[in-house]
């Protein structure tokens, strides 16, 4: 196989192998993307479920905390009422008893104030926590809702990129196939020229041999026909080259044979 033809065939084989490898790689890439998208969807669903579960668990926890704080307020209020009642009946003539009743009442008032402040702080914190949890649920829901469109866009982009790459690979295969076909035609044409040249040369050689044989045969025949009686006793020949014609005649009792030659 000529070098050009061999190189073109090798280029075609390489282009076809590259196209096959690209097709396999693209299929694997698309499958991997779909798998990742399924994992992302499942993760988004789990995130939403976790956020919603936290929101659902928040209300009972807040209610329990509110009940505990209310119990503390009720206890502090009861203690304050008891302290005030005890102060009202204390013996005013006993300074020590009066002081104890007053201290008890002040402590009960402080405890009630602390319980009320704690309840206010709790309500503020619970309101903020509830807002944050609701926002987390909304954010998880929005992410889940936006995921299908984003995944579809990624899939469309991948398909477009893969189509462009495959078109380029197919074009390279077609170009290589065209070059291989051109190289094959050139090889066949050159072989045909060589065959035709060889045939022509053989035919020309055969024609030349035939012409020489025919010329010699004609010369022999002409010579035999022109031999006079008596036979000639002198033949002059200065012939050299290829005989193309022969002429024989009798002159003054002698046979003169004329040969036309070419070098």
Q: 194 is written with which tokens?
A: 């060589």
Q: How much is the pTM?
A: 0.55
- pLDDT tens string, the chain, 263 residues long: the values are 454 568 888 888 998 999 999 999 999 999 999 999 999 999 999 999 999 999 999 999 999 999 999 999 999 999 999 999 998 888 888 899 999 999 999 999 999 999 999 999 999 999 999 999 999 999 999 999 999 999 999 999 999 999 999 999 999 999 988 888 887 777 777 777 877 776 676 676 677 667 666 666 666 666 555 555 555 555 555 555 666 666 667 666 666 666 666 66
Q: Whole domain around residue 80: which residue ranges?
A: 3-200
b/e per residue 125-155 (b: at least 16 CB within 10 A): ebeeeeeebeebbeebeeebeebeeebeeee
Give the CATH number, domain containing residue 141: 1.10.287
Would residue 11 count as lying in a domain?
Answer: yes
Same domain? For 193 and 240 the reply is: no
Same domain? For 177 and 244 the reply is: no
Q: 53 is written with which tokens?
A: 């579960």
């Amino acid at each position: 196989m000529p070098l050009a033809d061999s190189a073109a065939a090798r280029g075609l084989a390489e282009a076809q192998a590259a196209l096959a490898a690209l097709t396999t790689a693209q299929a694997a890439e698309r499958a991997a993307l779909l798998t990742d998208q399924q994992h992302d969807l499942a993760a988004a669903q789990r995130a939403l479920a976790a956020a919603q579960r936290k929101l659902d668990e928040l209300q009972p926890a807040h209610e329990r905390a509110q009940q505990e704080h209310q119990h503390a307020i009720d206890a502090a209020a009861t203690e304050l009422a008891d302290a005030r009642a005890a102060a009202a009946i204390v013996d005013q003539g006993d300074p020590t008893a009066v002081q104890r009743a007053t201290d008890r009442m002040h402590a009960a008032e402080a405890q009630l104030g602390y319980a009320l402040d704690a309840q206010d702080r709790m309500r503020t914190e619970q309101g903020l926590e509830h807002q944050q949890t609701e926002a987390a649920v909304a954010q998880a829901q929005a992410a889940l809702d936006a995921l299908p469109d984003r995944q579809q866009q990624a899939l469309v982009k991948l398909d477009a990129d893969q189509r462009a790459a495959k078109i380029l690979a197919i074009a390279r295969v077609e170009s290589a196939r065209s070059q291989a076909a051109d190289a094959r035609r050139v090889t066949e044409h050159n072989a045909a020229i060589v065959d035709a040249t060889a045939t022509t040369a053989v035919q020309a050689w055969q024609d030349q041999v035939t012409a020489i044989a025919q010329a010699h045969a004609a010369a022999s025949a002409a010579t035999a026909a022109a031999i006079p009686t008596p036979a000639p006793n002198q033949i002059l020949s200065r012939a050299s080259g290829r005989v193309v014609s022969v002429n024989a005649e009798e002159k003054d009792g002698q046979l003169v044979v004329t040969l036309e030659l070419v070098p």
